[in-house]
Every structure is written in structure tokens, then in C-alpha cells.
Structure 1
Amino acid sequence: MPDVKVGIILPESFLYSEVFAVMSTVVAINTIIFVALAIAKMLPRVYVSDLYTSRNRRAETRSIHPDDPV
């Protein structure tokens, strides 16, 4: 048996390389984004129109049946 430390697929020296550091950073950022998206999907929707009151609401109905309740 050779005296080289070998992992399951890759040698141990690959874990300390710059390529592995970049790949693990991309995976970490991707994980954070998907966790944020999953949490945002569980929260109730917020509509901007609900946050700001609109003053341009009509005082009268413009229906073809003007006597109907608003």
C-alpha cells in the first residue's frame, strides 16, 4: 500500500486547493439563497398597495347600476 493519503474520490491535497475553496464558497452562497427563498415562500405575501393608502378612490360608483351598494 502506498504511503499517500487518499480520500474516497479525491486526494487530500485537493481539499486545500484554491479550486475547492471557490467551489465550496459557491455551494455555501447557493445554499443561503435557497434557504432565503424557502423562508420567503412560507411567509404571507405583502402587497405594496396595502401599505400606502390611496386618496384617489372614487366617491361614486361608476357601475351600470348606480343604486347598487359599493
Structure 2
Amino acid sequence: MTTVTIPAAPVLAVTQDGAPLDPPLTLTPLADTVVMDRGAREFLILWRATFPWDARFETATLEVG
């Protein structure tokens, strides 16, 4: 048996020209998929966040911290 502890979600910020969007876009990433390589003793977590599209996001920047 292999036990994997899912770490805290990455912090996501959406900015426009370096400033937070107004009104802000709140993104809550959720662990969606875990891929395990038992031989290498590694795992990969795919995070997913969804939101309704708005035209103001076309020129925005997503920052992952």
C-alpha cells in the first residue's frame, strides 16, 4: 500500500498589468488527478480550477505561487 498526502493547493492570482483584477477572480484549485510512479517513488498532482469566462481575462496573467 502506498499512502500519498496531498499538499496544500498552490496559490493562484490573476492580475492585469501587475495589479489584481477588479473585481477579483477567486480561484480554488482542487486536486483532480494523482499519477504515481512507484518505481521512482514519485507522484504528480494535477490541480484544476474552473471559473466562468469573461472577456476581461483575455489579457490577464495567471500567477502560480
TM-score (norm 1): 0.21
Q: Which has the higher strand share?
A: 2
Task: Choose between structure 1 and 2: higher helix proportion.
Answer: 1
Q: Which has the higher contact order (CA 8 A, sep 6+)?
A: 2
Which structure has the larger Rg?
Answer: 1
